[in-house]
Chains A and B, each alone.
Chain A
Amino acid sequence: MNTSPNAMAKAPTIGLAVIALFLVVGMPSLNAAGVVSDFHLNTWGKYLCYAILAISVDLLWGYTGLLCLGQSLFFALGGYMFGMHLMLMIGKMGAYKSDLPDFMVFLGRKELPGFWEPFYSFPFAALMVFLLPGVLAGIFGYLAFRSRIKGVYFSILTQALTYGAALMFFRNELYMGGNNGFTDFRSILGADIRSPETKRMLYIASAITLVLVFLFCKWLTTSRYGLIQRAIRDSENRVLFSGYSAANFKLFVFVISAMIAGVGGALYVPQVGIINPSEMMTEKSLEAVVWVAVGGRGTLFGPIVGAILVNYLKSWATTEFPDYWLIIMGGSFVLVVLFLPKGIVGIPAQIRELLANRESRRAAAAEDELLNSAAKSE
């Protein structure tokens, strides 16, 4: 079923390298030359962050069989961590001309809550982008995998976790911006966040991160470790009976994928200029799962294709058919699940399989006929 990696490795590798080069160098150059508009480049930057999120979902779902509905939470947490730094960088440029972020002034806060202080430092914020999602995933994963919660129960529990966290972030008392979240960012690393140059740099950062994440996951999934991962997906009990501690493997991949999602979120926030709790609702996780399903799970290229394609479709449909886009999205989603279990990148394989099936059926029919005629002649 799975075509062996070696047979077709060469051509796709070159293709992927070309695509990567185009995303990292080509697009920004075209933008600098004025061929690709700033708006377009920014949209693509957003899509690439989504693609990072999609890869993190796929690492869990496609490769390990864990359907996590909390990836949007990790994505948003990464975004929030970086957003805190960006909020502090606004300084006195806010509407209230105060050192405090606007929403705190609005809440009547006189001084910065203690846990905000370290976020003045960029390296600290960047570290937290990895750390917080990682630690949360570590604790939750430890609890969940230790008691061997798996399959749909894992999905439902992560859904509950995400729901609870979103409820928490909606509260003003958390001092994380409540309903409105963080917005109105001004500068990043001393550069004006709204200038085309900064946006281009952010795009390039996203593209490079995506390529790095892709390469890392490629390495991870083709290693011996990746083999166990897929073994867990296909039959966890056999892995367990073979003497592997499936829980530890799962925990590791869960933490890694949470971190990847967090990084995606951190790159996403400065580009869209806002982060609020609606980003971490379960629906967002499900959307990311959709990208993976549409693109093709169990591959690393599929999620990227899915994330870009679905979001493209979404932004097209929301402007062209505002009343029907949910129906288009939902409907196409159902169709993909029913008819394209391997997603878009799996279409060629599916066609080959179909042809092979027909071939073998024809062969079997011919054989039957031969046997029948032989029986008759006897």
Chain B
Amino acid sequence: MAGLFVPLSLAAQEPPAKSPREIVAEAAVLMDADEQRVLVESLATANADEVVSLLAKWREGEIYQWQDDEGNSVAVLLDGEPDGDEKFALVTLAAGKPVLAADGTAVRMTKDELYMADTDSKLRRVMKGVTDRLALSSPDVPKRLRAVQDTGLEQDLAKLPLLEQLTVVEKNGKVKQALAEATAMLKLRSEDMAVRETAVKELGAMGSIASQGAIKTVRDEADQGGLVSLVAACDQAQKEIDSHISFVNSAGTVFRGISKGSILLIAAIGLAITFGLMGVINMAHGELIVVGAYTTYMVQNLFAKWNLNGMAWDMYFLVAIPASFLTAALVGLILERGIIRFLYKRPLESLLATWGVSMVMQQLFRLTFGANNVQVESPAFLSGNWTVNDIVFGWNRVFVIGFAVLIIFLTWATLNKTSLGLLIRAVMQNRSMAACMGIRTERVNMMTFAFGSGLAGLAGAFLSQIGNVGPNLGQDYIVDSFMTVVVGGVGNIFGTVISALGIGMADQSLQQILGDPVTGKILVLGAIILFLQWKPSGLFATRSRSLD
């Protein structure tokens, strides 16, 4: 009886194995529900993406049955937009070819003239089983992982054999772990209380955060049933999970602390050069950071204007990094030549003059880019997360940490391994002596200040990936940057590194403990003031015989 309805076209081009499209096309027009289910189940080994979309079409009623002249039903899809009479062109589901009438013209029909291939609840359950199983064996690891986790949360005991089967063949360590967790969670619904207890113990040992709710349900049931040992096992498991959570939280705090410290470090490293080494109080340092951030924004816009997409567009950031360094260095150069070189002997006045510069620059930003924040998109390789043992590492933050390390290394290498660095150190230690030795101190001052300013620009490029870019961005970092340099010990790059990490960690830990960023920040400021009582010249004081 079933054979009667098999479309002739299919039979004609019988391939060695039927494609999912053909199987669905065949199943959709079957009258026998049992045979339909068998056919659908056979899809469980086919290409996942295709099957999922086909089954979704079926469930949502997009597949229709069309009777050809010989009375055979053919599964068809509507093609394109309806015409004035609400009629659609038809294509066969199996081959995707237009449906032609006997005279060779395209068949057009309204929806009402066709039978929709419908589904009943049994069939839908089979379909879901198939899609679930497909997802569980998806070749894409994150998708597979998600499917496994979802199965665990569903706690459908019927899927236990499937999971066990998958555990045997799974190669990926993370998915294997997730499978173990999901299996244990399924077992929580087992009728056998001993099985439940082992599962609870396993989950406890895994520190499974996801299973907390399920374990609580088990505990409540066990409590009602008077199962003392199971209740105890649940409590023990919950305790283990809690300790795992607090481990995850503190690890997260450490990570955020390091990343916050790295941000501080990137913002302060330029200042460690201009202020720490040169003794210039550059209040416009924050604005140099903003110069870098806006340069990144402009490079991004340029790439968008060239209609670059995907990878090519992502590359904008790699172009923006040197561009922001150079732009900020150029601005720094102008600043040094125009103003700061007259004020080397008057540090407090350099503070005032550069503050005036910062006012001017802020207003120039506002006039050029508007008073509101501008949008800087992160390239694809900076978005997303990386989860290890339930601890979430944001890519952009990981990148910032890596970048901070790189900047520090480059700065250290420049100062200690290049001839420019040698000159810089000589001039900074004793300007007039260096001049006597024939060093062109003016030039070295210029280069050093430009270098420090360029580092501020780099900071801007990175801050644009983390926060907002606006004319006031620099003001948010200026106090923190100065504090970092002062605490680290002026003139000592290593001290700046330690102090940035210390302040970052203190800030994030206090925020975690107090649950309030502002109080944490106030406490950190207070702690810094007290710290300077103990070590007035910072962590690593530069020893010198000169009086002031």
Contacts and interface: CB of A to CB of B under 8 A. Distances in A.
Interface of A: 61, 67, 140, 143, 146-153, 155-157, 159-161, 163-164, 167-168, 170-171, 236-237, 282, 286, 289-290, 293, 323-324, 326-327, 329-334, 337-338, 341
Contacts of A160: 479, 482-483, 525, 528-529
Contacts of A327: 359-360, 363-364
Contacts of B534: 147
Contact of B483 (A156, A168, A170): A156
Contacts of A334: 339, 353, 356-357, 360
B356 A331 contact: yes
Interface residues of A, dominant DSSP: helix
A237 B355 contact: no
Given A146-B533, A147-B534, A155-B281, 18 more contacts: A61-B348, A67-B348, A147-B532, A147-B536, A148-B536, A152-B275, A153-B486, A153-B536, A155-B348, A290-B356, A326-B363, A330-B355, A330-B356, A330-B359, A330-B360, A331-B360, A333-B353, A338-B342
Nearest to A289: B352
B548 interface: yes
Contact of B518 (A147, A156, A170, A338): A170
B4 interface: no
A57 B351 CA distance: 15
B349 A333 contact: no
A333 B359 contact: yes
Most buried by A among B349, B358, B367: B349
B362 interface: yes
A146 B534 CA distance: 10
The 6 closest A-B pairs by CB, nearest first: A330-B359, A333-B356, A326-B363, A164-B525, A330-B360, A330-B356
A163 B480 CA distance: 10
B518 A171 contact: yes
Given A147-B532, A338-B339, A330 B358 contact: yes
Interface in B316-358: 339, 342-343, 346-349, 351-353, 355-358
Given A147-B536, A334-B353, A326 B348 contact: no
B547 to A, nearest CB: 5
Interface residues of B, dominant DSSP: helix
B438 interface: no
A337 B528 contact: no
Interface string B44-69: 00000000000000000000000000
B367 to A, nearest CB: 6
A372 to B, nearest CB: 30
B124 interface: no
Contacts of B526: 164
Given A167-B518, A333-B353, A143 B359 contact: no
Interface of B: 275, 279, 281, 283, 339, 342-343, 346-349, 351-353, 355-360, 362-364, 367, 479, 482-483, 486, 518-519, 521-522, 525-526, 528-530, 532-534, 536, 547-548
Contact of B359 (A171, A236, A289, A326): A326
Contact of B532 (A149, A155, A338, A341): A149
A313 to B, nearest CB: 13
B47 to A, nearest CB: 58
Contacts of B528: 160
B536 A149 contact: yes
A337 B356 contact: yes
Nearest to A331: B360
Contact of B362 (A149, A157, A326): A326
Given A163-B479, A326-B362, A152 B351 contact: yes
28 contacts: A67-B351, A143-B530, A147-B532, A151-B347, A152-B281, A153-B536, A159-B482, A160-B482, A161-B525, A163-B525, A164-B521, A167-B521, A170-B518, A290-B355, A323-B363, A326-B359, A327-B359, A327-B364, A329-B356, A330-B355, A330-B356, A330-B357, A330-B363, A334-B339, A337-B349, A337-B353, A337-B356, A341-B349
A370 to B, nearest CB: 33
B99 to A, nearest CB: 67
A333 B359 CA distance: 10
A331 B360 CA distance: 7
A151 B348 contact: yes
A237 B547 contact: yes
A152 B347 contact: yes
Nearest to B279: A152
Contacts of B352: 286, 289-290, 293, 333, 337
B479 A167 contact: no
A282 B362 contact: no
